[in-house]
Structure 1
């Protein structure tokens, strides 16, 4: 074993989620912990960019500018610190995207009736072949009152939920 430290190697022992055969630590390519980081030529100018792609994904989760090296011509080499920072940033981008998608596909309103407070939810299922949504109602105790399939374009509001409840949970038009 080489006794000099190699700055391109991760010495943290954090290879738990990746097969060690797939681990790559090169100046312009790092593959580790389920992520691939590539330093690429920036097509829009003379600089460099970095892209982070999660394992199994076709598109990068993050693309951004990358620092020039000391020669002002080539990119700065990747290292463990930069890679870990980029993994953290790309993971946050994916998490925000998932939150936004969840918010678009899941809606909830509350309706106060004479007897109870009712939660009405709309969960959109963006299936390519059969897009639809599920409209559901639960009482304040979490007991299911009704669940029906509706068009994915159904607009959930306090008014539409109240009308559905008042109709005895009949399928909305």
Structure 2
């Protein structure tokens, strides 16, 4: 079986300017903006790097410092954290939640945006503490979920008409 076949573990590479291991590839590249060097961190299976950052010059002040185990592990940790934070930001932009008091309990009102270049939409949903859906309606992805809008929707018994 080819070790570079999609869906399989790729072969580890440990060269001065190219390391591949633990699901990541680090490639030391010439920095196009100045005379220095940069390192591009690309997750396996991706074409574009997830993170590009400056890289240290070697002792001769012309060539890049070679990659080593410690540097690679630090780069993997940094790039993975960067990707995780980006995913959290995307999730936060597409999912919002407000909890409001209602009938002696708490009601969670969520707004889930479904991104689509041609036809984006969103779903507004209210659930009680037991997870029972009290109301659900499609709204504009630009709908502004606030405590005030959630309370107004609850006061209208979660009617779609109240949101127009």
**Per the shorter chain, which TM-score range?**
0.7 to 0.9
Which residue, 57, 77, 88 being the options, matches 1:88? Answer: 77
Between the aligned partners of 2:103 and 2:131, the Cα distance in structure 1 is 17
- Structure 1 position 19 matched with structure 2 position 19: no
Equivalent residue of 2:159, what SS?
coil
How many equivalent pairs are there?
156
3-state secondary structure, aligned to 2:76: helix
Larger deviation, residues 128-137 vs 88-97? 128-137
Could you state the TM-score of these two structures normalised by the residue count of structure 1? 0.83
Deviation readout 1:21-46 (Å, 9 max, x if unpaired): x3221111112222111101111221
SS in 2 for 1:78: coil
Determine the structure 2 residue equivalent to 1:7: none
The 2-side partners of 1:57 and 1:129 are apart by 25
Deviation at 1:109, TM superposition (A): 0.9
Match of 2:96 among 107, 111, 115: 107
**Distance across 2 between alignment mates of 1:115 and 1:66:** 58
In the alignment, structure 2 segments of 5+ residues that lack a partner are 1-6
Work out whether residues 135 and 159 of structure 2, in 8 Å CA contact, stay in contact via their aligned partners in 1: no
**Residue deviations 1:131-154 (CA, integer Å, cap 9, x gap):** 111111111232221222111011
Mapped partners of 2:111, 2:154: distance in 1: 14
Partner of 1:42: 31
Cα distance in 2 between the residues matched to 1:55 and 1:150: 37
**C-alpha separation in 1, matches of 2:126 and 2:84:** 28
Match 1:33 to one of 15, 22, 38:
22
Contact 2:100 2:150 in 1 (8 A): yes
Question: Deviation of residue 18 (structure 1)?
Answer: 6.1
Distance in 2 between the 1:33 and 1:113 partners?
49
Which structure 1 residue ranges, 4+ long, deviate > 4 Å from structure 2? none
Measured at CA, do residues 18 and 87 of structure 1 come closer, stay the same or move farther in structure 2, by a change above 3 Å? Answer: farther
Whole-Å separation in 2 of the counterparts to 1:19 and 1:60: 18
Counterpart of 1:156?
A: 145
8 Å CA contact 2:25, 2:42 repeated in 1: yes
